[in-house]
Amino acid sequence: MANLQVRKHVMTGIAFMIPFVCAAGMLMVIGNVFGGHTITDYKAGFTLPDVLTTLGGDGLGMLPAFISTFIAYSIADRPGIAPGFLLGLLCKASGYGFLGGLLTGFLGGWCANYLKKVIKVPAFMEGIVPQLILPLLTTLIIGLFMEYVVGVPILWLTEGIYALLMSMQSSGSSVIVLGLVLGILSAVDYGGPINKVTFVFVMQLMTQGIGAPISVLISASMIAPFGLTIGYFLSKATRRNLYSDQEKDALKSAFLMGCCQITEGSYPIILNDLVRITICTAIGAAVDGALVMYWQCASTVPAGGFFALPGIANPGF
């Protein structure tokens, strides 16, 4: 029963989140197609494609807040909305990523439900319980838990990963082994803290004229949407119904976003089978990373998906 409830809340969160994912993702795709870039200085001027790319990127950056809000709402109803959103913003700001938002959605919803049962106030104060007391206490409790309990091991993990990558690079480890590790770290948490640490590392190498590692990150970030798309066509060829109607609809935009190195479109499908899809993503990204490093497909651009191909050496491989 508990597993069914967890799945119900995840599905509710996905159902509410899909329009945000599709709208923001397609805005970014359209902007990228027409050469848009993220606006960092509005005073310097910008084009319409720049606006679309920036708006789409900002929207996708809010996905931790969206999924946290909607799961907390599914669990605790209206008292879960405010803490879910604020805790999702915490995940965005602290780099916990989409999976962090998934966690805060459940913790926030469960905490709000528990506090509803245990908090007793005089009759004249009952109106402010769902409006003020529950959101405030829930956000405070789970926020502190995320920062000082969950956040500490995440910080240690990210520092350890960076140190590992630096030691592998400085010791001249096999390019294939380095590619395997980079591929897995680039894709396994779908744009979360591990991916961010890997991005910092490969960007540092790119500034030194070493472009193959950033190519690993670009291509590995496309593994999930492309793998799911290939899985869909294989299921059609073998006449097995592996995808629900909702997943098929999500896959259409997920593939287009994937072409632009945007993983977020795959989230509605990934969350339905998180463990197995993550394992498959890690394996695919490892193979991809090893091949990219072996063939030295060095990139001169830091992102862009298929649109980065003109800036990648040996793209034919």
Identity of the highest mean pLDDT range in 98-112, 171-185, 192-206: 98-112
Q: Are 213 and 197 in contact (CB under 8 A)?
A: no
Q: What is the pTM of this model?
A: 0.80
Given this model, what pLDDT does residue 2 score? Answer: 56
Express as a percent the part of the chain with pLDDT over 90: 41
Considering only CA atoms, which of 191, 187, 217 is closest in space to residue 203?
Answer: 217
Q: Are 69 and 82 in contact (CB under 8 A)?
A: no
3-state secondary structure of 166: helix
Tell whether the model's pLDDT for residue 70 goes beyond 70.
yes
Tell whether the model's pLDDT for residue 45 goes beyond 90.
no
Q: Dihedral, CA atoms, 184, 189, 192, 197, nearest 10 degrees?
A: -20
Can you tell me the distance from the alpha carbon of 303 to that of 308, in angstroms, rounded to the nearest whole number?
6
79-111 b/e (C-beta count within 10 Å ≥ 16 → b): bbbbbbbbbbbbbbebbbbbbbbbbbbbbbbbb
The arithmetic mean of pLDDT across residues 193-209, rounded, is 87
For 81-128, write each residue's pLDDT tens digit.
999 999 999 999 988 888 899 999 999 999 999 999 998 888 888 788
Tell whether the model's pLDDT for residue 316 goes beyond 60.
no
Express as a percent the part of the chain with pLDDT over 70: 97
Tell whether the model's pLDDT for residue 317 goes beyond 80.
no
Tell whether the model's pLDDT for residue 238 goes beyond 70.
yes
Q: Are 312 and 298 in contact (CB under 8 A)?
A: yes
Q: How far is CA 56 from the centre of its chain?
A: 14
Strand ranges inside 113-247, DSSP E: none
- For 117, other C-beta atoms within 10 Å of its C-beta total 7
For 126-137, write each residue's pLDDT tens digit.
788 888 899 999
Tell whether the model's pLDDT for residue 206 goes beyond 90.
no
Given this model, what pLDDT does residue 219 score? Answer: 93
Given this model, what pLDDT does residue 311 score? Answer: 83
Tell whether the model's pLDDT for residue 4 goes beyond 70.
no
Contacts of 244 (CB under 8 A, 6+ apart): 272
1-15 b/e (C-beta count within 10 Å ≥ 16 → b): eeeeeeeebbbbbbe
For 26-43, write each residue's pLDDT tens digit.
888 888 888 888 888 888
Average pLDDT, the chain: 88
Q: Are 105 and 72 in contact (CB under 8 A)?
A: yes
Q: What type of residue sits at position 260?
A: C
- Tell me the CA distances in angstroms from 181 to 22, 70, 236, one per residue in order: 31, 34, 33
Given this model, what pLDDT does residue 3 score? Answer: 56
Given this model, what pLDDT does residue 138 score? Answer: 96
Can you tell me the distance from the alpha carbon of 43 to that of 115, in angstroms, rounded to the nearest whole number?
47
